[in-house]
Structure 1
Amino acid sequence: MEKGLLTFFCGKMGAGKSTRAGELAEKANAVLLSEDEWLQSLYPQKIDSLESYVRYSSFLKLPMKKLVQSILSAGTDVVMDFPANTISQRAWFREIISESESPHRLIYIDLPDEVCLEQIKKRCLEQPHRSATDTQDMFAQVTKYFVEPGSEEGFNIARVTKTY
């Protein structure tokens, strides 16, 4: 049986990863898995800092990995709206890919900080519940850890340099 395609995203906070993930999943009739939605459902009002995000997101890794591998093995495409913004985050995706022997695509949304910050402001107006964590300060904290994906990591990278 042919394996499903795993698509995942890299890009700074506010780059449009979630927007593109949703649109791509709908267009490709793929399963969309959103870290933000899982965290909000399982741990409502628990994520109020970078530290709490790191803590609670780590709880999702093992069950999500098994779920994704199962879906891919069934031949269904998966779009993961989970960040691949650091080498360690991408190593987790590498495990999913290599263990399931599935094809993949890493979409790197490479936008300037100013564009990302503008999109964060817009998002806070549209989704006021995110205004506590989607701030310029949080952007600065998270961006300190951002590492652009490189060819040496062995991913099939599609680089996007435009907003909609």
Structure 2
Amino acid sequence: MSSNNPFARLPEAATFTVTSDTVTDGSAWSAEQLSAGLPGGKDVSPQLSWHDAPAGTKSYAVTVYDPDAPTGSGFWHWAVADIPATVTELPEGAGDATGSGLPAGAFQLPNDTRDARFIGAAPPAGHGPHRYFVVVHALDVESIGVPAEATPAVLGFTMAGHILGRAVLTATAETAA
């Protein structure tokens, strides 16, 4: 597993807590969170709950990122922007193609397959274990101001100066050779 830290070059931010009924921090995704292209995979976004965000939080964004993907730039699996500050949970499956499980005002950006939904883990066979950083970003603005067709990288760049805190849960996945 790579030691690549996706937060190493980002501004420091306070920490708060994210938990999941779907996955335990440091553990493997269940089959539901694997890509539908793998046996048993279903592309179902994880349930997430968070608390103790920093004072002044006006919205949240959620991202799922694999820094270990053999691309030179990692792989974005999911990005949700403009989650209202009053929301502290997303149900399992909220990241489907309709986004019907998302709160009013929130929207999904296209992932690295250019689909505005959650796409499950699918590390290349024999590539070893991959880490999936599930991050809830507490922001100091009600709307981050990126268009719905923006990439998760543009979301990250735009958020950089607005992040009050980060809650991080790391899942793993590996595909046997």
Query: Is TM-score (shorter-chain normalized) higher than 0.5?
Result: no
Under TM normalisation by the shorter chain, which class is it?
under 0.3
The TM-score with structure 1 as length reference comes to 0.28
Answer 1 or 2: higher relative contact order, Cα 8 Å, separation at least 6. Answer: 1
Structure number with the higher strand fraction is 2
Q: Which has the higher helix share?
A: 1
